[in-house]
Structure 1
Amino acid sequence: MAEPLTPSPPLTPQFCFTPGALRDFLRLSRTAVDDTVTQHLNALVTPAKEGFDPSSTSRPVSWPLTHQIDAASCRTFKDGVLFPAWNGRSQALSYCALVATGPDPDDPEAALREAENERNRERVVNERLDPYSGRFFPREPRTEQLVSLVRMEQSVENIVRSRTWDIVNQRCGGSLGTWEQALATWRKANNPP
């Protein structure tokens, strides 16, 4: 099996709590596989099988959109590139969701947040003198920020995978089912219990 285009990073809580690292991994993986799926599939088509037609260079040809890719090449692409990338992103998002729901004893802003909350309890609110004195925006714990980030990235992931799977279905021919079914089948075959 081929190596995925973007290897999964080591999954640690620090990776999850560094939003830039998680976002960069997801962005690079999506760029390498999903955003360029048409180019990957075009590379699987061999239009020269029928022989070279010299007149083909004098007019534009839309061969990638009309030629179907053979089943073996499609299966190789899905099993060696597409599904490993999706699986790596799923593992990262699942791990970070697990980290976000657990306790965070190492939160560097916990003391600062507690001090702000204490000051807020001692604050005198007189909205008649200052209509804005009742406003208080507490800092969100980083676990809550991570929950929001993971939820948003999972939504993006579903959209990206649906779009990619539509293109793969169109180019590889036939109905290959949903991407969820195909990924579950691949996982079952590649990760025996």
Structure 2
Amino acid sequence: MSVPQTVQELLSPENCVNSSRIRAFLVLSRIATDDTVRTHLNEIDTSKCDIFFTSTIVPEWNARAQAIRYCSDYAQSLRQEIGATVGDIKDVQQKFDLRLNPYASRDYQEQVEQKSAKIETIENWVQNETTVESILKNQTAETFSQKCQYKDWLQYAIDISK
């Protein structure tokens, strides 16, 4: 399965933290496919529903899922990194010679808190976008079932994406 180059260009840690570019891609992709699916299906013969679904809808779903999954994985790796570096308070205090720098422990704690806030921000928008994707996929599948023949379109998308 080939992902459009524009999606690959978006996949970076910076774009996960400042999600405006990825979220703009998600919105534009949804407008081009899911939001206008009823109009597109009215314009094509019902015998071409499968072709439209496999050539237009599923690739966009996969590209959006890849972008969301990339940032979810990035947040998870940051969380594991924090877990590996943050140990017991006693261990943290032993890392620093507070006689040389009495603020070292506090500064370290602030860095950990900032990283945690960054992770939570990423996880929140990822969860929101995952929920939106689920709703849109269900609505699109329902529209396909109404306009074309009934089929488990969501399962069909999974099957052809393997």
Q: Are the counterparts in 1 of residues 71 and 126 from structure 2 also a CA contact under 8 Å?
A: yes
- 1:96 is aligned to 71
**Seq. identity, %:** 32
Determine the structure 1 residue equivalent to 2:96: none
**2:100 maps to what in 1?**
none
State the aligned residue count.
131
Q: Does residue 1:184 correspond to 2:153, yes or no?
A: no
Using the alignment, how far apart are the partners of 1:40 and 1:8 within structure 2? 23
Q: Structure 2: any 5+ residue segments left out of the alignment?
A: 82-105
Q: Would the aligned equivalents of 2:144 and 2:153 in 1 still touch at CA under 8 Å?
A: no
Mapped partners of 2:21, 2:6: distance in 1: 13
Q: Give the corresponding residue for 1:142.
A: 118
Quote the residue 2:127 is aligned against: 151
* Structure-2 separation of matches of 1:85 and 1:94: 14
Cα deviation per residue 1:53-101 (whole Å; 9 max; x = unaligned)? xxxxxxxxxxxxxxxx11xx11110110000000001111111100011
Shift of 1:103: 2.2
- Contact 2:13/2:74 (<8 A) preserved: yes
User: Larger helix proportion, structure 1 or 2?
Assistant: 2
Match 1:84 to one of 59, 64, 71: 59
- TM-score if structure 2 supplies the norm length? 0.71
Letter in 1 for 2:161: R
Residue by residue, what CA displacement relative to the aligned partner does 1:141-165 show, whole Å, maximum 9, x if unpaired? 2111000110111011100110111
Give deviations 1:164-193, integer Å, cap 9, x for gaps: 11001111112x1151x12211112xxxxx
Q: What is the aligned-residue RMSD (CA, Å)?
A: 2.6
Higher Cα radius of gyration: 1
Maintained 8 Å contact 1:97/1:147: yes
Q: What TM-score, normalized to structure 1?
A: 0.61
The code of the aligned residue for 1:184 comes to I
Over 3 Å off, 4+ runs: none
